[in-house]
Structures are given as structure tokens and as C-alpha cells.
């Protein structure tokens, strides 16, 4: 049977609030936030409100922090630390610098407190549905304790690595993909708009097909980004993806040239796709470079 932890939640905003509500439905949960309305919502969900962080620390074995930035994380931990018992856990859900997580973990270790960086992905809808992805960096034993306690809030909880900061490094890589994809979406929308296509309908098609194929995550199947050996199973799979991608990118760029639309990300994608997939062209290949 997993250890029953008393939970504390600091920061009850758009994501922290629904996340805390999920936790309050499964374990004794104490909450603190500067917004009385946010606190009242959590009390209605079964949590106990306190007047300050020292009281929350004394009532908690695991404190989840979901505040805005590095400075607020440092401030909150500074107030919690003198009142947490040795063996307590702190899970930082805010997206901060990896160095901040490491710094706080080192400082708290002197008091026997384990700090995990545990950034989250899935937004407010994922928090409300208990479907967050939680990426935890730090001590493995601490991860195991936190994973069981946080399970009501996240249906995918992974150990990103043994060091505090590893969770954040994973989150930053994930968000790089997210926002570069947004920039690529803007390019695709400009091309469609210039071609007289309804971009709202295009959006429907993208959401529909990504739900089937898995979108960008569908190619994240290997444990290395290096070149793939010709006798590797994945060589044929990724060579097919490369050839299909280069064909379609070339067609899209040809259309863009005809319409006078600049697609810098599309051109970079055509240049980098093969090597990025691990199946660069050999010297005798005929490259399609737009």
C-alpha cells in the first residue's frame, strides 16, 4: 500500500486551482493563495484553508507549488522551509529555470527536505480532467512518493531524470516543439489564406488528422537523435517519412513561390528534415531543396 501523504497546495490559479481540486478529492489537502475567491472554491472542493505558508507547511508532507515565476518559487520555499519536517517533499510545478530547481533542492537538502521539479503540461483543461502530464526531476525515491500522491491530477507522470531541474529541461524541450509548431501553423495559415482556402476549415482538418496520427509526437519513437543504421528497423520507416515529407514540402514551397508567400520555416524544414530524422541523404542522392 502506498504511503498516505498530507498534501499542501500553493497557487490556485487557472491550472493550480483545478489541480488542487483533484488532489483534495483524494487526500487531506491544505491550500493557500492570495485570492480569497480561489481559496473558497477549493474549500468547496473539500480542502482546508490556512492563513499563511507556515501553517500550510506544518500540515503537509508534500507541498505542490504552482506560482508564476522563479522569484515567487524562491519566496514561497523560503517561507515554507523552516516549518517543514525532515522527509517532507516539495514539488515545483511552475515552469522555471532548471538552475533554480537545483539551487532550491540543494538548499533544502540541508534540512532533509526533498525538492522535485515537477512541471506540468496539459493546461487548464488537463488539470480539470486530471489528465496532466507531470515531468518530475530529482531523487527517485522522492519521485515514487510524489507520483502516487499526484496521480489524481495527472494520468501521465514520468521520472525525467535524477537531478532537480531535469523535469524542467524536459518541459522546455516539450514547449519548444509546442511554440515552434505554432509558428509553423502561422506559416501554413498564410499559405492557405493566400491560396483562397478557408483557414478555419483547415484548422478542423489539422485537429482531426493529428488526433489520428499523433501529430509531431508520432515520430518521437527512438532513444537517440543520431543517424539510423541501414539495418535498423526504423531506417525504412523514417526514410519513408523523409521522402514523403520532402515531396510535400517541395510542393508547398512551389505553391508559396507562385503566390509570393514567404515560408522560412518551411524552407528550413526541407533543408533539415532528413538529418533530423536520422536518415540523411548519401552523396549520390538527388536532394530536393526547394
Grouping H, G, I as helix, E, B as strand and the rest as coil, residue 10 is: strand
Catalytic residue of the set 171, 261, 270, 277: 171
Q: Which helix (H) or strand (E) holds 185?
A: helix 166-194
Residue 93 and residue 6: Cα distance in Å, rounded? Answer: 17
Distance CA 191, CA 257 (A): 10
CB atoms within 10 A of CB 265: 16
Which residue shows C-alpha cell 537517440? 224
Q: Which of 131, 128, 68 is nearest to 100 (CA)?
A: 68
Indicate the length of the chain as a whole number.
Answer: 290
Q: Is 171 a catalytic residue?
A: yes
| β pairing state of 132-137 and 7-10 | unpaired
Q: Within 10 A of 45 (CB to CB), how many other CB atoms are there?
A: 17
The label of the residue with cell 473558497 reads 40
Q: Are 89 and 62 in contact (CB under 8 A)?
A: yes
CA-CA distance, 124 to 16, in Å (whole number)? 8
The catalytic site residues sit at 171
Amino acid at each position: 500500500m502506498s504511503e498516505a501523504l498530507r498534501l499542501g497546495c500553493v497557487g490556485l490559479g487557472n491550472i493550480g486551482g483545478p489541480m488542487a481540486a483533484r488532489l483534495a478529492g483524494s487526500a487531506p489537502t491544505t491550500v493557500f493563495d492570495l485570492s480569497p475567491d480561489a481559496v473558497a472554491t477549493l474549500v468547496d472542493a473539500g480542502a482546508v484553508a490556512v492563513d499563511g505558508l507556515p501553517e500550510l507547511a506544518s500540515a503537509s508532507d508534500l507541498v505542490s507549488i504552482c506560482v508564476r515565476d522563479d522569484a515567487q518559487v524562491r519566496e514561497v520555499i523560503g517561507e515554507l522551509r523552516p516549518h517543514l519536517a525532515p522527509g517532507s517533499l516539495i514539488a515545483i510545478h511552475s515552469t522555471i529555470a532548471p538552475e533554480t530547481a537545483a539551487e532550491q533542492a540543494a538548499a533544502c537538502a540541508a534540512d532533509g527536505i526533498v525538492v522535485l521539479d515537477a512541471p506540468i503540461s496539459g493546461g487548464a483543461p488537463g488539470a480539470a480532467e486530471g489528465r496532466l502530464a507531470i515531468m518530475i526531476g530529482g531523487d527517485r525515491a522522492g519521485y515514487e512518493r510524489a507520483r502516487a500522491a499526484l496521480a489524481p491530477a495527472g494520468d501521465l507522470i514520468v521520472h525525467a531524470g535524477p537531478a532537480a531541474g531535469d523535469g524542467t529541461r524536459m518541459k522546455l524541450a516539450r514547449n519548444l516543439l509546442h511554440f515552434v509548431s505554432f509558428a509553423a501553423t502561422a506559416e501554413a495559415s498564410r499559405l492557405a489564406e493566400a491560396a483562397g482556402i478557408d483557414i478555419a476549415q483547415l484548422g478542423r482538418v489539422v485537429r482531426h488528422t493529428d488526433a489520428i496520427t499523433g501529430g509531431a509526437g508520432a515520430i518521437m519513437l527512438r532513444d537517440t537523435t543520431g543517424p539510423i543504421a541501414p539495418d535498423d528497423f526504423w531506417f525504412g520507416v523514417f526514410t519513408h517519412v523523409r521522402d514523403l515529407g520532402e515531396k510535400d514540402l517541395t510542393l508547398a514551397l512551389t505553391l508559396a513561390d507562385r503566390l509570393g508567400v514567404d515560408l522560412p520555416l518551411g524552407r528550413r524544414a526541407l533543408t533539415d528534415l532528413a538529418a533530423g530524422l536520422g536518415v540523411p541523404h548519401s552523396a549520390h542522392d538527388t536532394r530536393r531543396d526547394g
